[in-house]
Amino acid sequence: MNRTLKGLLLVLVFLGVWEFISRSKLIDTLLLPPPSSVLFRGWVLFSKGELWGHIGASLWRVLLGFVLAIVFSLPLGVILGLYPKVAEYFDPLLQLFRPLAPPAWIPLAILWFGIGDRAAIFIIFIGTVFSMLLGIMGATKRVNKDLVKVGLTLGADWRKAVFYIVLPSIAPFVFTYLRIGLALSWMCVVASEMVAVERGIGFMMIEARNLFRTEDVLLGMGVVGGLGYGIDLMIRQIEHKVLRWTKGLMAHELFGDHRTL
């Protein structure tokens, strides 16, 4: 049984237990409706076309905020990782902003950008960029300097050393921080849409809460989880293709079905 089917089996078990708990009235169905009711509600909203607009709005905001965070954090993280003296100037500022939870930026974002996409995208960007930036900076600092020395000895200039030695060395870590950043982006978009926009999955969820439509709240959570998982799978597929050269070098390959330890 492959890994995807194993994961799907666990999801089905979870849904089955949830259905049993709800149907047996162990918990009030108004507070926890069964998954069959949530799926039926999703089918109704999909067939009416109401859910597509919310999904499209949220997906657009997540992708734009996420891409902006990548464009900002990747080059700056590499530069700060390679030049510790420069990083010393930035460190107090980064450490000052990093602990701030994304919702703390919502009032300021609304004051600056008003209600709409720009406020939500800003919150996604600001809630994602610091974790990715510090992670990439840390990975760059830990690149083996002997590899760079060998490249320079063999005739590479500093530009080639960065592109052909440093970037490939940090690539596995970059993909890890991309996946973390993607998860943070979905967390931020739901929070921002509850107060800063008038369309999106977060907006749908807060409206459903006001009307006590628990099925819609759970549906929104499921849609966010499904979309996040789908995009994460895409990143992992890209990672698998880009980092083929790491196959056979990773410690986790010593474990599993065919142990060699």
| Residue spans per domain, the chain | 52-200+226-243
**Which pLDDT value is given to residue 39?**
92
Residues of the chain with pLDDT under 70: 1-4, 247-261
Cα gap 203→114, rounded to integer Å: 16
36-44: long-range pairs with CB below 8 Å, 24+ = 37/215, 38/215, 38/218, 38/219, 38/222, 41/215, 41/216, 41/219, 42/219, 42/222, 42/223
77 close to 137: Cβ distance less than 8 angstroms: yes
Distance CA 150, CA 146 (A): 6
C-alpha angle 13-238-163 in degrees, rounded to nearest 5: 145
Q: Which residues of 238-248 are buried (b: 16+ CB within 10 A; e: fewer)?
A: ebeeebeeeee
Rounded to 10 degrees, the C-alpha dihedral 111/112/118/121 comes to -90
- In Å, what is the CA distance from 167 to each residue of 84, 201, 210, 217? 17, 36, 48, 42
Check if the beta carbon of residue 131 is closer than 8 Å to that of residue 177. Answer: yes
pLDDT of residue 250: 62
Q: What is the pLDDT of residue 241?
A: 87
Q: Return d(Cα 258, Cα 252) in angstroms, integer.
A: 11
Residue in the structure block whose two tokens are 């607009």: 53
Q: Do residues 145 and 175 lie in contact, with contact meaning Cβ atoms separated by under 8 Å?
A: no
- Show Cβ contacts of residue 261 under 8 Å, excluding neighbours closer than 6 positions: 254, 255
Can you tell me whether residue 197 is helix, strand or coil?
Answer: coil
CATH fold for domain 52-200+226-243: MetI-like fold (1.10.3720)
Q: What is the pLDDT of residue 253?
A: 61
User: Which pLDDT does position 248 carry in this prediction?
Assistant: 59
